[in-house]
Structure 1
Amino acid sequence: MRRQLTPYPDAALCAALAADLDAADLRSEPLRGAWGDDADDAFGRGIRGPLLRAIEGRTDALATLGRFFVVGLPQPADAVEAALPTVGLAGLEALGLAYREDDVAVPAALVRPQSFVDADGVGEWWIASDLDEVALGGALPPDHVLGVGGASRTLAELVMPVPVARALDLGTGCGIQALLVARHATNVVATDISARALAYAEINAMIAGVTTIEFRQGSMFEPVAGETFGLIVSNPPFVITPRAEGVPEYEYRDGGLVGDALVEKFVREAPAFLIPGGAAQLLGNWEARAGVAGMERLRSWVPDGIDAWVIERESLSPIGYAELWIRDGGTTPREPEFEPLLEAWIDDFAGRAVDEIGFGYVLLRRPKDPAAPPLRRFESLAQGVSGVGRALRDGLRGHDALNAGMPERLVVASDVTEARHHLPGAENPSVIELRQGGGFARTLSVDSALAAFVGACDGELTVAQIVGALADLFEVPLPELWADLEPRIRALVVDGFLAAE
């Protein structure tokens, strides 16, 4: 049975650990090269056998630390001492990351390289977190501190790359979002209800050498009462969990409220902590109840005068949702605990007449001009996405530009292409499509007039000049053509197909 240690931030020891990890080249690409692409991909699915087989017998620092910190396996103490000559095993014990049992060094935490790409470039950090279920060989403890998972990467992709003076990472966990936000924020406040999570987050900031993050303990917005920020990000503990005896509650994912009340609380309260022009971005779940769509319920939570852009990425049935999160906690259908947990989830959803559960992204913004009509956009997108943060930023900029009136000139975004489909032998296309290569990867069917307008948007001619020329070309009265094109042009601006020059 592994001992659980309390992580303890120490700047000098973290700097020593970083120096040793750097010297060992414990990074994603060297590790992938050491055990191969297939083994690396298998490890991402929780299968570690091929990885260990590939580096069996190797005693160099990279292999030793790969087994010790990346996989979470005990190693000979002298091998760990040799791989970490600066911090040493005593330093790891002081940090709460490992301990000695006779001649064996036992990891009490994972320390994995985590690469990132943002508007400022490419980089990589080492991120410490609790041992996962693969390393533990069973279910997670309730106070487990999660490393960088799929939700963390999703939120990182979602955050708009906009410089701000002050930012808030609410529910920071291991601190990955705070580190990312610190790259374009002068100061960051990172909060969490878990003292254990905050300790890991502070250790990770120290290992990365980032000194602009302040860590505070508390629930929701309590630690920042009366303060405002240019950006709030949150991957909150939004998982809907039954408040029933025998159902484990994990601090990293369960907010302690019933149903989707935590997301509702965030949406209702976050705008009060934003400066004019400031934005809040979060991941969340929302329930459809008794035939009322989840996004309709969410729409009712948004305060008046606040911009809201909500994107539902997927929805699950109550059974599918329960299975997902029971497995996430390390319990599989082969184990006797699975069926009682499933019944508890189903009973919980039935008590609120829940039909399905949606998952997606929420963007809230306090407009700089309180008199401006707010953006209210609620949509479902199933296709693959990339560069979402930039797409959201550009969509807000387009909305703001349109609030000031139709821009004089518009230009086509660089990732937009046009496809025309002809029936065999036909002179004119039966379908014309505009396609985005990035962002939300939208594909829109357009008619000849709108396609011709977009094709002429190179910044040379004004919008009025283009529409006037098209009215002559199609022999349509100008007011009639403009009435048809104007709302569709506005949609193209907010969707990022067109941008104000």
Structure 2
Amino acid sequence: MDTPRTEPALVDALRADLAAAGFTVTGVDELLGPVASDALHREEQVPALRATASSDEPAAALIRAFVLGAPVRRRALERALPTVGVAGAARLGLVASSGTAADDEVHALVDLRPYTALDAVDPGGETREVDWWIASDLGELATGRALRTDHVLGVGGASTTLAQVTVRRPVARALDLGTGCGIQSLHALLHAGRVTATDISHRALAFARFNAALAGVRAEGQGTESPTHLAASDRTDGAAHPPAGPAAPTAPARLDLRLGSMLDPVAGERFDLVVSNPPFVITPRDPDVPTYEYRDAGRTGDAIVRELVTGVRAVLAPGGVAQLLGNWEVRRGERWDERVGEWLAESGLSGWVVQRELQDPAQYAETWIRDGGTTPDRDREAWRTSYDAWLDDFASRDVEAIGFGIVTLVDDGLGWARLEEVTGTVQQPLGPSIEASVRARAALATRDLADLRLVVAPDVTEERYLTPGDVDPQIILLRQGGGFGRTVQAGTALAALVGACDGELTVGQIVAALGALLERPAHEVAAEVLPAVEGLVVDGLLTV
């Protein structure tokens, strides 16, 4: 078996050793220093290898083995893992050793690294820091080879994005569709009573189970089998293995792992939250182009994202929220929001799509060919063959660009749709901002805006631009410091209304006072400012 094994006592020992060694995001950055850390983020490992070469710190051996894929001496790894030991790590399927002598080399079989994130707690914007260790397959940086087609990916940029934009309201049941290494499930377990995680890959489910155990969570369901012993042929060295630990905890498992494609494993069930970082990469259906389970769903074009958007309602509970990442094709003669807007209309749900990036076909092809480990320096012929196939595939459908973004779907019965492009810097986590916007739409749907008492959000500032000598400003801007960082240009009446929103008066009362002040009928002032006020509420610049 080429995935980690989950034996509770050994996993507990491993967790204690990793913590004691200071193998944390902060600890790694401090040991490597800014130059080597930055280089590693750019997929350059030489500075990190140099920074750890002569270090006796336990974390140095862990970095070299599990992050950089370099061989380490057995004695160094024994010092770093004094409780679980090299034999225990081998029993878990994490390392292989050339022998039992102190100077024998030990090689990591998996990538294992610390992970930390600020996780949103509620729409009020409170956050908490989470710290885990996440195992996945060794990447191309460590192996120097193209990825295997059943590669299990660790925490990448897309995974981080989804975790930060997810609405973190307390829910009874959550679904992690296409769980991969299980990172979205770990986040969901912080605010969900029970999480169901699905994947088409046996190997992904095995990694997800191990990562859950390392985070202190027991899993059940498919892909959770764990051997209580290893045959002699399975052992990676000649040392005596530590005794197997006690049986798994008897407390009910809150993570249910299921093998299957898309929504098939959960047909007929309902969830309050669905999150998915699906295999959305648009890959040519060409025998010369390798397909990778973690990123390719075997569909043509952007069909997988369309299927999810239009089909997820079948598993959403009333009031439920689904959030996913995706790519979509922008075809000749169409705007990006036309195609995706049709999917929203077909879904029967309220929907909010934020396009964060747009690439031309050549950029897109280069990104994903490199992602699989093929480069022009390593294999020029394979690079050219794949590049041609990707461009031919896009040309066959008149694709001029490919969008990447975030989709939020809500089963609220209101039928609203919002499609926008936000390519600038945003303040993460965005989950609280998205949740607040969804709640605001619900409030506006059930109550008269004129009857609401509003308050200016604490992160909103006002900027006024005047020509020297003038009394009245020519431009008034309302700026949002957090969330999507929106800037709204306001007229005099709207700025005055926002300035009066301290929760004491209703919007209607403020409008009436503005009418008297401006010597204009109140209904004219209302017609001018109320649509903008509604937008400010939805965007979080004004709160109920």
**With structure 1 as the length reference, what TM-score do the two structures score?**
0.96
Match of 1:25 in 2: 22
Instruction: Say whether 1:68 aligns with 2:27.
Output: no
Distance 2:79 2:454 in 1: 61
Instruction: Say whether 1:235 aligns with 2:242.
Output: no
Deviates more, 1:51-60 or 1:457-466: 51-60
Equivalent AA in structure 1 for residue 200 of structure 2 = I
Match of 1:107 in 2: 108
Instruction: Say whether 1:209 aligns with 2:216.
Output: yes
Moved over 4 A (4+): none
Report the secondary structure of 1:283's partner residue: strand
CA shift, 1:9, in A, is 2.5
CA contact (8 A) 1:436 1:497 kept: yes
CA contact (8 A) 1:313 1:380 kept: yes
Match of 1:332 in 2: 375
Equivalent AA in structure 1 for residue 505 of structure 2 = L
Instruction: Say whether 1:6 aligns with 2:3.
Output: yes
CA contact (8 A) 1:291 1:355 kept: no
Match of 1:396 in 2: 438
CA contact (8 A) 1:241 1:249 kept: yes
Instruction: Say whether 1:440 aligns with 2:441.
Output: no
Distance 1:487 1:85 in 2: 64
Q: Can you list the C-alpha shifts for 1:3-49, whole angstroms capped at 9, x where unaligned?
A: x9233222222112111112212111122111212211111111122
The aligned runs of 1:32-111 (5 Å cut-off) are 32-102=29-99, 103-111=104-112
Match of 2:180 in 1: 173
Identity %: 51
Q: Which consecutive residues of structure 1, in runs of 5 or more, have no partner in the other structure?
A: none
CA root-mean-square deviation: 1.4
Instruction: Say whether 1:463 aligns with 2:460.
Output: no
CA contact (8 A) 1:290 1:354 kept: yes
Match of 2:223 in 1: none
Please, which of 347, 350, 353 is the counterpart of residue 392 of structure 2?
347
Equivalent AA in structure 1 for residue 215 of structure 2 = A
CA shift, 1:294, in A, is 3.0
Report the secondary structure of 2:53's partner residue: coil
Please, which of 335, 338, 347 is the counterpart of residue 296 of structure 1?
338
Instruction: Say whether 1:356 aligns with 2:356.
Output: no
CA contact (8 A) 1:232 1:280 kept: yes
Distance 2:334 2:88 in 1: 55
Distance 1:498 1:6 in 2: 50
Match of 1:182 in 2: 189
Distance 1:87 1:191 in 2: 30
CA shift, 1:305, in A, is 4.0
CA shift, 1:484, in A, is 1.4
**With structure 2 as the length reference, what TM-score do the two structures score?**
0.88
CA shift, 1:338, in A, is 1.3
CA shift, 1:329, in A, is 1.3
CA contact (8 A) 1:286 1:295 kept: no
Equivalent AA in structure 2 for residue 374 of structure 1 = G
CA contact (8 A) 2:146 2:374 kept: yes
Report the secondary structure of 1:233's partner residue: strand
CA shift, 1:234, in A, is 0.5
Distance 1:408 1:442 in 2: 22
Q: Which consecutive residues of structure 2, in runs of 5 or more, have no partner in the other structure?
A: 122-127, 219-253
CA shift, 1:92, in A, is 2.1
Distance 2:83 2:93 in 1: 16
Equivalenced residue count is 493
CA shift, 1:183, in A, is 0.5
Equivalent AA in structure 2 for residue 113 of structure 1 = P
Distance 1:316 1:32 in 2: 32
CA contact (8 A) 2:323 2:406 kept: yes
CA shift, 1:138, in A, is 2.4
CA contact (8 A) 2:454 2:506 kept: yes
Q: Can you list the C-alpha shifts for 1:155-179, whole angstroms capped at 9, x where unaligned?
A: 1111012110000000111111100
Match of 1:496 in 2: 540
Distance 1:243 1:237 in 2: 14
Please, which of 199, 203, 224 is the counterpart of residue 266 of structure 2?
224
Report the secondary structure of 1:42's partner residue: helix
CA shift, 1:425, in A, is 2.4
Instruction: Say whether 1:255 aligns with 2:297.
Output: yes
Distance 1:141 1:304 in 2: 35
